[in-house]
Structure 1
Amino acid sequence: MYQLLSDLSIIEVSSFVASPTAGLYCAQMGAEVIRVDHTAGGLDYDRYMLTKEGRSLSWENLNRAKKSVALDLRSDEGRELCVELAAKTGQCITNLPEKSFLSHAAMAAKRDDMISVRIMGWHDGRQAMDFTVNAASGYPLMTGPEEWDPETAPPISQPLPAWDFITGAYSAFSLMTALHHRTATGHGSEMRVPLGDVAIGTMANSGTLAEMLYRGSDRQRLGNAIWGAFGRDFQSKDGKRFMVAALTPKQWTGLVEAFIVAEPIAALEKELGVDFNAGDRPRFENRHRLFDIFQAAAEAEDYAELSRRMAAHGCTFEHYRSHYEAAQDPDLVANNPLFGPSPANPSGFEYPATRSFANLPEHEVGDPAPAPYLGQHSEEVLADRLGLSSGAIAKLVDAGTVARSDKNANYEYR
């Protein structure tokens, strides 16, 4: 937690991954992010995996350092309160449809310099989610063993919702852009960020779209090999599987020295009439012959000795870990300043929590903050933001329009 955005307040009305991620990144830089949900929780409030008490670990981690307001968003009064909160605050992140009660027009009618960042499915209004967008992008048909038949092999969808997280980051960037524009001009902005455009646009920015059109066909599957460069997984004598990559002359030379394969590499260069120090192309085009040499060297030694030499020669490598192994790895977690002590999580489960991904040496970084209980800040925010009296808030609570904290609620297996 940094406090660089401590003068910024944001209303977030969202669910699932992309939209909460945008708010999370702002909160980790010090912004006051007020998440507004329906009184029973948003669509993601009980997203798997749940603790035995029924608390979602996904929701808990995507909503750290935020405040929570719970309103009856199915009622006219609850919806009007939500729009009023957004307008009073001046900036809103949401993934509700534009034609919902929280349209930009509805918020801008109350504040002409309103900023809204809306995460959509596709640019034309069709619904989408990470896993369906990924199917459209072509990447699942590029993934898999090299020997698979391209005509009959199944797609392989990645388990990480990468497009959601990229979209969340781009949405936070879009919000900062709109804020800068408003400071300069006094004008608000409606920002729409389609998840599908983030995926297809990223494909284009990477050069892949141009490559496909230029070659007039799909790229072949490469297994775990790196496209256009030297890199792949290898297995050591003691069964450790690890990944290496060489995209620079220094990285290539380091691998040759660490694996002690200079002689067979020189012999292969002579046989093929190539210079593997000349760049990525000769290494990639002759990758299978090179892989055979490196795998023969790898399986002759234990990983501990190979990794020692690779580290000594400045190689780029890492051994494969399971998620569970990564969560317990001291280098990745326990000794990593990214993580701080466990805050008082709503789940009651203690575990390391992340600070901001950015490391700012000149600024003090605080400990990770907990996620809120649903409705924990309803009364505080309605009083401070809308100026409602305690009596008025009590009437809204009694009417079911506003909900207080669900800290003591029983949510087991909802």
Structure 2
Amino acid sequence: MAQPLSGFTVVENDSFVAAPSACLALSQMGAEIIKIDPLKGGPDIDRWPITAEGRSIYWGTLNRGKRSVAIDLRSEEGQELAQSLITATGDEPAKTGIFITNNVGRSFLTDDVLRAKRDDLIHVKVQGSADGGPGVDYTVNAETGIPGITGPAESPRPANHALPAWDLLCGQAAVTAVVSGLLQRSTTGEGTYAEIALKDIALSAVANLGWYTEALQPAGEREKHGNHIFGTFGTDFTTSDDRSVMITAITRRQWQALVDSTGMTAVIEALQTALGIDLSQEEARYAQRETLEALFKPWFAARTLDQVSAELAGSGVLWAPYRSIGEVAREAAGASAAGGSEDAGTGVIRGLASDQLGDMLVGANPIRFDGEYLSGEQPTVLGEATHEVLSEKLGLTQTELGRLSDSGVLNS
């Protein structure tokens, strides 16, 4: 199918996760992404994880499918080139003039400067905080209060999580800002300047879950309680072969399926009678979560993972085995090698060959258009498209490109 953003050109000047992930998502929907990089790359060019040769898997994965243009952004000529790329109209002005950034301190890329060159510019800026202060996912997360309710119940220390969730959510908000800007420009002819603070993303998300309102209730702040699901019953269990599974019983149907499948009907009925409670109610299951965990624990401990899987198959119990990153990677790599990219559960993960990084595993766009994942992006090499893009977009001749290379504005 035709990609929804085919023909659109987006220019980015950014680093790390939020803004690059936004541009990756736009690329996967068909947009051409021109990434303006410093000559030696941005501060994330060597960010871990890395290959055995020391090349950044992080940078190469988040920035694939983009045309990297490496410019000396400290020089006046380099700054003018960057401005020209961002504000170029091309043959279809309605599909150009889109800029995403998270840079700080580059006065030549402020909205006032760029909008003076193109007044219908769609400019999306990702920030740390709304007052312009710095912030990354890890510091923002600390300020949300989430680490205080994460981790083992017996630990007084806050617990971070490994996933940069706020960065990823911020990236998708940036995509929304771009699409909203395009809609506004198509209907009014006006451009957009949208600022998105990572801290605002996190605080807004937690507030919209009702968690801050909850903290003001008479019961006070929520306490951490390990892997138990708040407000219902769900936790992890260990099998006889030392595998872990996550069991959830959120709805009445799921709860009844768990009770029936594990042969616990009589035990649960006796517990309800003894305590005068109704465990079909979520709040009752949550209140008795530790007792229920102890009751179900022997059933899982007496079975291997394969046996648990066989006995719960088709039962209506909502559960999943815990898998390591390596297990997921090996399964996806095997499916890719076998041509099984459409296999359920791995269809969104694809193999991609890269001269710099070797065999990569990358994610397709998780939005399935007409039942299909959109993918097909190619690896990106720092500065590889510099001369091609400047010639194509700005009309620079080989002589001009040579002069810029000789003067150090561009790499040779």
Q: Same fold (TM over 0.5)?
A: yes
For the 8 Å contact 2:28–2:374, the answer to whether it is kept is no
SS in 2 for 1:284: helix
Output aligned runs, 1:10-409, within 5 Å: 10-88=10-88, 89-97=96-104, 100-148=107-155, 153-215=156-218, 217-277=220-280, 279-329=281-331, 334=336, 335=343, 336-343=346-353, 345-361=354-370, 367-403=375-411
Q: Distance in 2 between matches of 1:318 and 1:33?
A: 37
> Bigger shift: 75-84 or 350-359?
350-359
SS at the partner of 2:224? Answer: coil
Shift of residue 369, structure 1, vs aligned partner: 2.1
Deviation of the 1:137 alpha carbon? 0.8
1:234 is paired with a residue whose SS is strand
Shift in Å at residue 203 of structure 1? 0.6
Q: Percent identity?
A: 36
What is the distance in 2 between the residues matched to 1:52 and 1:240? 30
Aligned 8 A contact 1:11 1:85 in 2? yes
SS at match of 2:203: helix
Number of paired residues? 397
Query: How far did residue 311 of structure 1 move?
Result: 2.3
SS of residue paired to 2:100: strand
Distance 2:189 2:383 in 1: 33
Q: Is the 8 A contact 2:29 2:374 kept in 1?
A: no
Divergent runs of 4+, >4 A:
330-334
Residue 333 of structure 1 contacts residue 352 of structure 1 at CA under 8 Å; is this kept in 2?
no
Contact preservation (8 Å) 1:346, 1:370: no
What TM-score, normalized to structure 1?
A: 0.91
Matched to 2:399, the amino acid is G
- Relative to structure 1, the CA distance from residue 341 to residue 273 in structure 2 (aligned partners, 3 Å threshold; closer, same or farther) is same
For residue 156 of structure 1, what is the amino acid of its counterpart?
A: A
| Structure 2: runs of 5 or more not aligned | 89-95, 337-342
- Offset at 1:368? 3.1
Report deviation, 1:216: 6.5
CA distance in 1, matches of 2:2, 2:305: 39
Unaligned runs of 5+ in 1: 405-414
Matched position secondary structure for 2:352: coil
Contact preservation (8 Å) 1:134, 1:163: yes
- When structure 1 is superposed on structure 2, of 33-42 and 293-302 the one drifting more is 293-302
* Displacement of 1:330: 5.0
Deviation at 1:219, TM superposition (A): 0.8
Structure 1 contact 57–347 (Cα < 8 Å) conserved: no
Q: Does structure 2 conserve the Cα–Cα contact (< 8 Å) formed by 1:326 and 1:332? A: no
Q: Offset of 1:49 from its aligned partner?
A: 2.4
**How many angstroms apart in 1 are the aligned matches of 2:253 and 2:239?**
23
CA RMSD, 1 decimal: 1.9
Aligned-partner Cα distance in 2 for 1:333–1:245 = 28
